[in-house]
């Protein structure tokens, strides 16, 4: 497995502002992902963070709203731009790692965002 | 498009009971299936991963089974404890890395 940390762990923000969430892994990983979990809902994949190139976004998510950086193989950021109350969610990063001869996803502790 | 359903949505049991959580998925062409635990307001802890070629995995009091042909997986928890109280999520990997999550089963084990 890997040790994955996220900053901040939680934040309360005003409508119209932006927040950048950091994800740090203690080992180099090829694939990193960002998920959103809205209240009472399950996890939805926002994008795959690609090192050295633009992120790959899932349907319904766009770069202008959720810009992602991946400057190296251990770090990524997700920015939630021009926030509205509908963006209140837990945001989680995850990594894909070899485990027991296969690949397994491991998740960070999440960032709980509340937008007023 | 893969869809994952978990039943029941919530479950309350007294300590010591054995219990089964159910997960179904619509597309049987999965790469693997993972079970996670999520404590309130927290991230996900991986519990068990079953590859598409496997039928079950065990870890301590947990046993997960997979029946690809019927699109079902179950998580069996033996001798439940209050510390098992959490939301349990299953996720089907339809590709190398794409996970589709169910909405989870919220489990409460009372002393």
Residues of A in contact with B89 (CB under 8 A): 42-43
In whole numbers, what is the pLDDT of chain B averaged over residues? 93
| pLDDT number for residue A30 | 87
Residue B84, helix vs strand vs coil: helix
Six-digit token pair at B12?
Answer: 């309350």
Above 90 in pLDDT, residue B41?
no
User: Which element (helix H / strand E) includes B108?
Assistant: strand B105-110
Q: What is the bridge-based pairing of β-strands A111-115 and A10-13? A: parallel
Q: In which residue ranges of chain A is pLDDT below 70? A: none
Under 8 Å between Cβ of A92 and A84 = no
User: Which element (helix H / strand E) includes B6?
Assistant: strand B4-7
Kindly determine whether residue A42 and residue B51, on different chains, have CB atoms separated by under 8 Å. Answer: no
Which are the contacts of A59, defined by CB distance < 8 A and separation ≥ 6? none
Band the pLDDT of B43: cuts 50, 70, 90.
confident
| pLDDT number for residue A45 | 93
Kindly determine whether residue B46 and residue A105, on different chains, have CB atoms separated by under 8 Å. Answer: yes
């Amino acid at each position: 497995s890997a040790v994955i940390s996220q900053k901040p762990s939680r934040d309360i923000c005003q409508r119209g502002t932006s927040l950048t969430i950091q994800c740090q892994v203690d080992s180099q990983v090829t694939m990193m992902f960002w998920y959103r979990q809205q209240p009472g809902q399950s996890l939805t994949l926002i994008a795959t963070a690609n090192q050295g190139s633009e992120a790959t976004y899932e349907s319904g998510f766009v770069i202008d709203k959720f810009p992602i950086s991946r400057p190296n193989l251990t770090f990524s950021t997700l920015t939630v731009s021009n926030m509205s109350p509908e963006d209140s969610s837990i945001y989680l990063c995850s990594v894909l790692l070899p485990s027991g001869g296969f690949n397994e996803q491991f998740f960070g502790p999440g960032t709980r965002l509340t937008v007023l | 498009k893969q869809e994952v359903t978990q039943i029941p949505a919530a479950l309350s049991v007294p300590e010591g009971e054995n219990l089964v959580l159910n997960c179904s998925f619509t597309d049987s062409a999965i790469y693997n299936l993972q079970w996670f635990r999520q404590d309130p307001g927290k991230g996900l802890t991986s519990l068990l991963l079953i590859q598409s070629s496997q039928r079950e995995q065990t870890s301590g009091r947990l046993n997960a089974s997979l029946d690809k042909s019927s699109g079902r997986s179950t998580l069996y928890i033996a001798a439940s404890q209050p510390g098992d109280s959490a939301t349990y999520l299953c996720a089907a990997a339809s590709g190398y890395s794409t996970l589709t999550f169910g909405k989870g089963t919220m489990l409460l084990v009372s002393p």
